[in-house]
């Protein structure tokens, strides 16, 4: 689960079809993309498009907030989030690859980012402290989550009452390293999240979707898997207003 984990590498991505495990949660009824790279594009190229700045502004990230960067990879967003929230804010960078977390930890130390900590997560559990995060970012990695219902279920308690989850992904099938917007909204709704906004965002490689927890967290056994045939339509991209 790497930030921008389906970058421009030469390897041909192979999909994973995950079978149900005895966890009480349904398996995803869709292929799961294989991690091929920790990089979506160079940081310089992304900054020329002001990618992080636009995402953070649309997500309403401000000084003094506590933010989680899930699938932090090389730390493109981690570094910029640290600058945005300031010295009294907090950024937790999470990834499931030990070598990635180790390398990111070294970068954090080298750049003297005292408001950043790194954390090794699990494929189905980001292992975040409860009631802590105003915003949780998942950029170009949602389609790589093997157990999305369990992952989102375990993520919910980490949000503050006004917390939001921000997903940036491409509008294409999961096996091609994206998530159709209708499928994304269905999977979030199955675990008790409501959409706040969804809009196209070409500079970040697709679209940005924002969700909040809504109602009681469902019991795992009551969660129903969404059908993988859900596809995006123009209407699905108009939950929010305007464009980038």
- pLDDT, one tens digit per residue, over 71-91 is 999 999 999 999 999 999 999
The pLDDT of residue 241: 44
Residue 23 pLDDT class (50, 70, 90 cuts): confident
pLDDT-based confidence at residue 228 (cuts at 50, 70, 90)? confident
Q: For residue 188, what are its two tokens?
A: 């979030």
For residue 129, the 8-state DSSP code is P
Residue-averaged pLDDT of the chain:
86
6-10, 177-181, 219-223: which has the minimum mean pLDDT? 6-10
Determine phi and psi for 199, rounding to 5 degrees. Answer: -150, 155
Q: Regarding beta strands 66-70 and 90-95, do their DSSP bridges make them parallel or antiparallel, or are they unpaired?
A: parallel
Query: Which pLDDT score is estimated for 117?
Result: 98
Where do the H-state alpha helices sit in 28-133? Answer: 43-48, 51-58, 76-85, 98-110
* Separation of alpha carbons 194 and 185, rounded Å: 8
What per-residue confidence (pLDDT) applies to 64?
Answer: 98
Dihedral angle, C-alpha 105, 210, 184, 133, nearest 10 ° = 40
Q: What's the farthest any 2 CA atoms get from each other in the chain?
A: 46
Does residue 37 carry a pLDDT above 90? no
The answer to whether the beta carbons of residues 186 and 240 sit under 8 Å apart is no
> Is the per-residue pLDDT at 16 higher than 70?
no
Would you say residue 17 has pLDDT above 60? no
Least confident piece of the model among 70-79, 128-137, 206-215, 234-243: 234-243
**What is the mean pLDDT of the segment spanning 48-69?**
96
Confidence check: pLDDT of 47 > 70: yes
pTM: 0.85
Mean pLDDT of 162-181: 94
d(CA 158, CA 51): 26
- In this structure, are residues 34 and 13 in contact, taking their beta carbons and an 8 Å threshold? yes
For residues 244 and 54, the answer to whether their CB atoms sit within 8 Å is: yes
């Amino acid at each position: 689960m790497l930030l921008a984990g389906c970058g421009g590498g030469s390897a041909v991505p192979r999909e994973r079809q995950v079978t149900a495990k005895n966890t009480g949660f349904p398996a995803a009824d869709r292929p799961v993309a294989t991690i091929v790279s920790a990089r979506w594009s160079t940081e310089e190229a992304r900054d020329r498009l002001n990618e992080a700045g636009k995402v953070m502004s649309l997500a309403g990230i401000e000084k003094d907030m506590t933010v989680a960067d899930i699938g932090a990879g090389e730390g493109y967003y981690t570094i910029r989030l640290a600058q945005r929230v300031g010295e009294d804010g907090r950024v937790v960078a999470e990834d499931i690859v030990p070598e990635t977390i180790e390398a990111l930890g070294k970068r954090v130390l080298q750049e003297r980012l005292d408001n950043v900590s790194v954390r090794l997560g699990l494929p189905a559990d980001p292992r975040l402290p409860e009631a802590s995060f105003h915003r949780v970012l998942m950029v170009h990695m949602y389609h790589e989550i093997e157990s999305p219902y369990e992952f989102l279920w375990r993520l919910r308690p980490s949000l503050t009452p006004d917390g939001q989850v921000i997903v940036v992904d491409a509008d294409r099938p999961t096996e091609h390293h994206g998530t159709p917007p209708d499928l994304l909204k269905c999977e979030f709704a199955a675990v008790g999240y409501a959409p706040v906004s969804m809009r196209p965002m070409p500079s970040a490689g697709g679209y940005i979707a924002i969700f909040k927890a809504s109602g009681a967290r469902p019991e795992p056994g009551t969660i129903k898997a969404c059908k993988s045939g859900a596809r995006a339509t123009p209407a699905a991209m108009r939950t929010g207003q305007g464009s980038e």
